[in-house]
Each structure stands twice: as structure tokens, then as C-alpha cells.
């Protein structure tokens, strides 16, 4: 890994030197031999003046090739395009795969979008406008129109000729989609199917009918899950009339899964992990809202403890175990939350009934709570030579874990039911809520056993 890294650094240094010395042929040879991802990495490391020099050395098509690998929501994307000549930028976007170009345009001001589209070929601009029409979180929003389709009455030889004609502009050529004269999807072929059959074989004889599809309105997470479940390289997308309008490739599915995972992790952590800033004030501004909210929730816990001040004055030993009970219950709640969010994300439409999930979590909470409660009861009873204190701590621990476990699973389910992202029920929120309920349970049980405890 270190060797590979140092080789890339050497290549970057040589490219910078060639660019600075106006050695156009040397630069183009070294740069165009690199993988598109490495080209993009080098490009993003340049200063504005160096990038402007690069635009003079590379044409719009060559820049578009590596722009396909750049994150579309890059904060400085507007500035990067503004550095280019407007026609150059429009040509570059036009040469990108349609879905990637549309993703970039979605993050630009409307006047910029209109200006770039007005400079493109009319047919290409129309395709991009259609893609921009779809919700970004749906299959229509992430699909590409760069696919290969053939009419059902063709034979293998004719299909291969059509595939060769359009292959350069297609995002993937492994799947060939078979349509009728109304562009209704009737089947799918693989490149292997075309290569292993005789050229005079009719496509209808070898295609797979009833192809698995996605609707333009399907949620992107569901589509990504379908691609993963069926191990597809691409999935066809149809409109309400079942007409083929695009495909979603596996790289887009991976990106969706990655975004969903980061979103879930951000929710569980209570901070946007996608936002990275070296400016401490900007970083703090992103974290403070949750912390301030949780601070006020934590104040309720402090108020509750203050309410039981008389009890603590009578039996100060109870204060020793507050953090033990709240911490363990918070951990249990966070575990339950993580499992619930994961289950909701993975199961898709095959979710079990909510009462089964509730029953399962209640039983899980009871089992873990009872075992943990018995363990701490024995430890405290032996340590403090006080069985009543051990029973008090053990019961409080068992009840607190059960409630926290139930809350950790129920809250994300309820949030999904009302249309919110389940991951928003973050780990810090569940932990703070568990603190509140745990303190209430603990002191309520301790109050009940107070007389026996004092004796």
C-alpha cells in the first residue's frame, strides 16, 4: 500500500512539473494513462490557476471522463464549473453519463443549470431535463438513460450490430434490454447470451421475459437493496406505462447504500459525519444543536435527581450506583436502537408485524435485564454485605434495561411510521432518554425498599 501511495505521489509530482513547464505531450501521455479516479484525485489537488491550465491541455470529453468519478455534492462544484469557459463546461457535462451530469446539475443554481443546458445539443438537454424532473431520492433521480435496448423482432446478429453501434455511449453493455415498438420492456439479454448463440437466432427465443424492474417512483434505498439481493450489474427502470426509461447501475446502488449507511451512522452519532471541516467554529456549529437539545433533556434528569434529594440524604449509598444503572441502560438502549435501525433498513417490505417486534424486544430486554440484574445484585450484595441494597440495585437494573431496550426499538419504528428517518433517533438521544427513565425507575424502587433498606 505504501509503495502504491509513493508511486502516485511521484506521478503527481511529475504531472505538476510537466504542467508547469508547458510540456503538453508529456502531461497528456502520463495523465491519460491514469485511471479516471486517480485523474480526479490529481485534478482536485490543483490550485485554480493550475486547473485553468489543465483545461487548455485537455478537451471537454477527457475532463468529463474523470468528472464522472467526482462526488456530485462536492461543496466547491459550482466554483469548479465557473472556472471553465461556459461552453467548455456545457460540453464536459454533455460528455458525462447522463445520471452523473444530472446529479451535478441538481446542486447548481437554477440560472447556471439553464445556461449549461441551453448550450448543449437539444436532444441531450431534453434527456437531462427529464432526469432533473424526478425526485432525487427515487429510482428516477438516480437512473441513467445511457443504456442499450433493441427491438424484439431482431436476431442475434442484428442485436450485436446495434450493440456495437451504441456501445461507446452506454454506461454498461453487459445487459441488453428488449423492447417492443411502443418501447415497452418485454425481456432482457446478457452479452453472453448474444455471444454464445447463432447470429440468426431470434431474440425472443433466448431472452429472459418478465424482467425484474424498478419504477421511477421507487425509493432509491429499495432499488439499491434489490440490486444487491439479485446480484445485478444494472436494473431497468420503467414508468407508469411500463415503458423503459432508464437503468440503475451497480455503482449507483453502492453509492446509495454508502449514503444510507453514513446517514444512519450520522443519526446514531447525533452528528453529520459527511461534514468535515478544519474550521473549529464551523465544526462546532454542526454539533451544537443536538448537544444543546440533549443538555435540556439532561437537565430533566438532574431535576429528577434533585427531587429525590431527601432519599439520597437518608441513604447516600444510593448515589454510588446512579451512573452504573444509567450507563448500562443507555448501552442497552443504544444496542437495541442499532439493531432496530438495521432491521428496518434491511428488511424493506418484508418487515414483520410491529407487535411481533415489540414482543421480541420486550422478551430480549427481560432476558438481558434479569441476567444483568441478578449479576449486579450478587456483586453489590456481597460487596456491601447488604442483600436489600443488592436486590434494590438488581431490580432497578433489570427494569431500566428492559425499558431502555424497548424504547431503543420502538422509537425508530414509530418514527418510520410517521415518515421520518429512523436513524434520527440517535444514540445520544436514546442514551439521554434512558438516563431519565433509569433514574426514575431506580429511585422509585429504592423508595419502595427504603424502610427495609434502613433496617
209 sits in which H/E element: strand 208-209
Query: What's the first-to-final CA gap in the chain, in angstroms?
Result: 68
Please count the residues of the chain: 455
Rounded to whole angstroms, how far apart are CA atoms 429 and 337? Answer: 10
Task: Give me the residue label for grid cell 424532473.
Answer: 133
What is the DSSP pairing of strand 214-215 with strand 208-209?
A: unpaired
Rounded to whole angstroms, how far apart are CA atoms 155 and 205? Answer: 9
Structural domains of the chain sorted by starting position, each given as residue range(s) with its CATH number in brackets: 2-133 (1.25.60.10), 149-250 (3.10.580.10), 280-454 (1.10.357.20)
Cβ–Cβ < 8 Å for 319, 312: yes
Listing DSSP states for 179-202 in one string gives: E-TT-BEEEEEEHHHHHHS-TTSB
Cβ–Cβ < 8 Å for 450, 311: yes
**Residue-by-residue pLDDT tens, the chain, 455 positions:** 444 455 777 788 899 999 999 999 999 999 999 999 999 999 999 999 999 999 999 999 999 999 999 987 788 899 999 999 999 999 999 999 988 999 999 989 999 999 999 999 888 899 899 899 888 889 998 999 999 999 999 999 999 999 999 998 899 999 999 999 999 999 999 999 999 999 999 999 999 998 999 999 999 988 998 998 899 999 999 999 999 999 999 988 888 877 766 665 555 555 554 555 556 766 666 667 767 777 887 888 888 888 888 888 888 888 889 989 988 988 888 888 777 776 766 555 455 566 777 788 788 888 999 999 999 999 998 998 888 889 999 999 999 999 988 888 887 777 777 766 665 556 677 778 888 899 999 999 988 887 655 55
145: nearest Cα among 100, 188, 180: 100
Output phi, psi for 234, to 5 deg: -155, 155
Task: Give me the residue label for grid cell 454510588.
Answer: 320
pLDDT given at position 264: 55
This prediction's pTM: 0.63
Rounded to whole angstroms, how far apart are CA atoms 62 and 39? Answer: 10
Amino acid at each position: 500500500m505504501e509503495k502504491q501511495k509513493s508511486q502516485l505521489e511521484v506521478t503527481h509530482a511529475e504531472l505538476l512539473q510537466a504542467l508547469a513547464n508547458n510540456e503538453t505531450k508529456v502531461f497528456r501521455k502520463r495523465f491519460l494513462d491514469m485511471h479516471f479516479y486517480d485523474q480526479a484525485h490529481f485534478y482536485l489537488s490543483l490550485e485554480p490557476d493550475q486547473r485553468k491550465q489543465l483545461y487548455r491541455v485537455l478537451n471537454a470529453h477527457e475532463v468529463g471522463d474523470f468528472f464522472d468519478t467526482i462526488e456530485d455534492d462536492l461543496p466547491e462544484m459550482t466554483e469548479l464549473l465557473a472556472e471553465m469557459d461556459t461552453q467548455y463546461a456545457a460540453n464536459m457535462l454533455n460528455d458525462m453519463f447522463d445520471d452523473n451530469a444530472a446529479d451535478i446539475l441538481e446542486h447548481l443554481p437554477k440560472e447556471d443549470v439553464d445556461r449549461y443546458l441551453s448550450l448543449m445539443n437539444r436532444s441531450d438537454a431534453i434527456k437531462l431535463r427529464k432526469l432533473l424532473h424526478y425526485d432525487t431520492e427515487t429510482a428516477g433521480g438516480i437512473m441513467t438513460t445511457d443504456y442499450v435496448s433493441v427491438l424484439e423482432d431482431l436476431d442475434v446478429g442484428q442485436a450485436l450490430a446495434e450493440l456495437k453501434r451504441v456501445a461507446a455511449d452506454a454506461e454498461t453493455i453487459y445487459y441488453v434490454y428488449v423492447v417492443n415498438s411502443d418501447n415497452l420492456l418485454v425481456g432482457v439479454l446478457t452479452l453472453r447470451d448474444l455471444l454464445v448463440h447463432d447470429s440468426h437466432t431470434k431474440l425472443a427465443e433466448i431472452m429472459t421475459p418478465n424482467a425484474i424492474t424498478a419504477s421511477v417512483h421507487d425509493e432509491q434505498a429499495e432499488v439499491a437493496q434489490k440490486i444487491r439481493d439479485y446480484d445485478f450489474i444494472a436494473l431497468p427502470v420503467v414508468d407508469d406505462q411500463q415503458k423503459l426509461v432508464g437503468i440503475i447501475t451497480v455503482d449507483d446502488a453502492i453509492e446509495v447504500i454508502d449514503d444510507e449507511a453514513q446517514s444512519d451512522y450520522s443519526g446514531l452519532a447525533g452528528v453529520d459525519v459527511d461534514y468535515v471541516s478544519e474550521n473549529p467554529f464551523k465544526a462546532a456549529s454542526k454539533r451544537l444543536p443536538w448537544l444543546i437539545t440533549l443538555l435540556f433533556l439532561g437537565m430533566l434528569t438532574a431535576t429528577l435527581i434533585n427531587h429525590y434529594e431527601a432519599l439520597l440524604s437518608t441513604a447516600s449509598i444510593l448515589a454510588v450506583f446512579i451512573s452504573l444503572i444509567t450507563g448500562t441502560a443507555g448501552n442497552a438502549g443504544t444496542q437495541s436502537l442499532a439493531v432496530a435501525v438495521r432491521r428496518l433498513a434491511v428488511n424493506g417490505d418484508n418487515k414483520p408485524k410491529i407487535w411481533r417486534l415489540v414482543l421480541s424486544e420486550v422478551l430480549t430486554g427481560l432476558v438481558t435485564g434479569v441476567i444483568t440484574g441478578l449479576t449486579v445484585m450478587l456483586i453489590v450484595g456481597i460487596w456491601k454485605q447488604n442483600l436489600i441494597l443488592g436486590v434494590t440495585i438488581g431490580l432497578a437494573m433489570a427494569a431500566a434495561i428492559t425499558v431502555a431496550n424497548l424504547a431503543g426499538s420502538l422509537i425508530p419504528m414509530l418514527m418510520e411510521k410517521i415518515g421520518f428517518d429512523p436513524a434520527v433517533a440517535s444514540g445520544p438521544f436514546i442514551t439521554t432518554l434512558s438516563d431519565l427513565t433509569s433514574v426514575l425507575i431506580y429511585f422509585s424502587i429504592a423508595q419502595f425498599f427504603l424502610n427495609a433498606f434502613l433496617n
